[in-house]
Structure 1
């Protein structure tokens, strides 16, 4: 239970650290050219967290922005692939929830840092039948 309460602050903290690192390198030549960190999040849940932390210093694209969208049947578009290729930071849920993020990142050969929330949270104990890949509910 205690680990679940720490998941959101861990994600927020990691995103803040990653954004700080990106902002430092961005000043000398980021993808946007204006010092704004380009972030692509697999869902609007994570996109909203980044927007709340980064404010005007981030430009966020949330790939799945409708709660009724099924991440397992998601099909990317050229626009989505382009956003991933130009991103400074990628945020994925991980745990099999949004495997399309790995596919998009691999196809674009992006150099963006990636935050995998499942790995960061420590909630997946490997083979645990009780593990719920929807860590954003934690």
Structure 2
């Protein structure tokens, strides 16, 4: 009797297990594939420069300026001097001197060597003098 009961229990349980396993396999196959790389285009350096110059020229508050700087410096390139000039002018327009100084610190970190950093400083000397912005090295000579 025990053998008959066990056999009937196994027969009864065999059908739901098989149908459940089949359902699990079919649901795993139905997952859609998404092509992420097709949605993005490569932006040229010139369009990047134009976009951020326009952004910083229209920047009206500190939060917007810092968000733009964060996005700009997150890219794997050094912003053009035009972008840096627009960002420094925006920092002075929203009356945040420390952000203006930190923009130059960001450039120092992004460039490959000291010579490139000095070239940026030479290019932007007129803007620095006009707006009264110093670099960290000028403010604290021992650093």
User: TM (normalized to structure 1)?
Assistant: 0.26
Structure with more relative contact order (C-alpha pairs < 8 Å, separation 6 or more): 1
Bigger share in helix? 2
Bigger share in strand? 1
